[in-house]
Structure 1
């Protein structure tokens, strides 16, 4: 699929009607407190052009972090008072974490929010890197910056369901491993939702 077709597919996917997603989608027996307070956050699914089309920029989080150490994730984080909204938070965090200049990103749109087990309501922001970008991981947060081909992350067949014990119960989640990188959990769930719409 050529780059222009991939961009068109992303635009169609963003425009499609979709329900919000959750880390609990595969675990419907989980009882969530109706009074729970979710913290807003934004993550950036940034696609950069390569020789074979688009690649997705992902990070491997630092093993020294308190939350989700060593996991594969989008650049992003919680909405701070300085942020106008979740899009601004995603762009600011991407700049801080991987040195991606917000001016070098064309925002295509957002996906419905995703609720995480850690109490965040995450808005995925879909963007194209249109300017110069030399990845530079922020050592306190990011161990590595890497890319994954569009054909891998936008193919629903690449995703499988795995499980592990979590807080005394078996929890199911999506995975989409790529080489040495184990893409799973919220990142995989958000990507799989986008992939379904891209292929629709």
Structure 2
């Protein structure tokens, strides 16, 4: 089996309703269905060296570091994406449009595999649809607008799957402490919403390696 075939199989299971919610966190339950806004993110995997024959650890996933000056999620690492607009024909179209605006990628080289289950982002009141995709013809990427993104990078899965580079990230607000899976990659900590999505995604794909979930560190706020 290859990474590409694993991703195809996951997309098929998701389309058939056989994939659970993409995060384990109870915060997903706090979304107000009357005021929630729809969003979509592009979860784009690829491999320059091996293409569709690549094993998972030979692949990478496209990530964006948000500008530190933004009001929402400043400095955090996430997938390219954003709010769905009236001009978008679908969640897939919205994710691709946002990815082009943020990273400058060529959408012609992106093969959409399917949609994953919607996932709540309560702090921003978004219901997010992750769009699973394969980078068939990778193109150069960069931070198109530095007011929005500090950098754009391809995060190697060999680092994201490394148990030594994983822990639980904690945020305490009042009497409540929230925990999410975290990853260290290219001098950046991926945690929160994106960390939860990646953790669940790797579990669903069967790519996860056993890691120490009792190891906890404060989130890099």
TM interval, short-chain normalised: 0.7 to 0.9
- Alignment partners' CA distance in 2, 1:100 and 1:87: 15
Deviates more, 1:51-60 or 1:105-114: 51-60
- Please say if residues 13 and 194 of structure 1, whose CA atoms lie closer than 8 Å, have aligned partners that are also in contact: no
| Partner residue in 2 for 1:26 | 25
- Alignment partners' CA distance in 2, 1:84 and 1:175: 33
- Alignment partners' CA distance in 1, 2:130 and 2:156: 18
TM-score normalised by length of structure 2: 0.78
Task: Provide closer, same or farther for how the CA distance between residues 106 and 60 of structure 1 changes in structure 2, counting only shifts above 3 A.
Answer: same
Task: Provide closer, same or farther for how the CA distance between residues 154 and 106 of structure 1 changes in structure 2, counting only shifts above 3 A.
Answer: farther
| Partner residue in 2 for 1:147 | 154
Task: Provide closer, same or farther for how the CA distance between residues 46 and 34 of structure 1 changes in structure 2, counting only shifts above 3 A.
Answer: closer
- Please say if residues 154 and 198 of structure 1, whose CA atoms lie closer than 8 Å, have aligned partners that are also in contact: no
- Which segments of 5 or more consecutive residues in structure 1 lack a partner in the other structure? none
- Which segments of 5 or more consecutive residues in structure 2 lack a partner in the other structure? 51-57, 208-221
Q: What value does the CA root-mean-square deviation take over the aligned residues?
A: 2.5
Q: CA deviation at 1:14?
A: 2.2
Secondary structure at 1:177 match in 2:
strand
- Please say if residues 162 and 172 of structure 1, whose CA atoms lie closer than 8 Å, have aligned partners that are also in contact: yes
| Partner residue in 2 for 1:183 | 190
Within the candidate set 8, 12, 17, 1:11 is matched to 8
Task: Provide closer, same or farther for how the CA distance between residues 122 and 31 of structure 1 changes in structure 2, counting only shifts above 3 A.
Answer: closer
- Alignment partners' CA distance in 2, 1:61 and 1:167: 26
Secondary structure at 2:59 match in 1:
strand
| Partner residue in 2 for 1:192 | 199
Aligned length: 194
Deviates more, 1:89-98 or 1:160-169: 160-169
Deviates more, 1:112-121 or 1:71-80: 112-121
- Please say if residues 112 and 133 of structure 2, whose CA atoms lie closer than 8 Å, have aligned partners that are also in contact: yes
| Partner residue in 2 for 1:77 | 82
Q: CA deviation at 1:20?
A: 2.2
Task: Provide closer, same or farther for how the CA distance between residues 33 and 86 of structure 1 changes in structure 2, counting only shifts above 3 A.
Answer: closer
- Please say if residues 156 and 195 of structure 1, whose CA atoms lie closer than 8 Å, have aligned partners that are also in contact: no
| Partner residue in 1 for 2:67 | 62
Deviates more, 1:139-148 or 1:182-191: 139-148
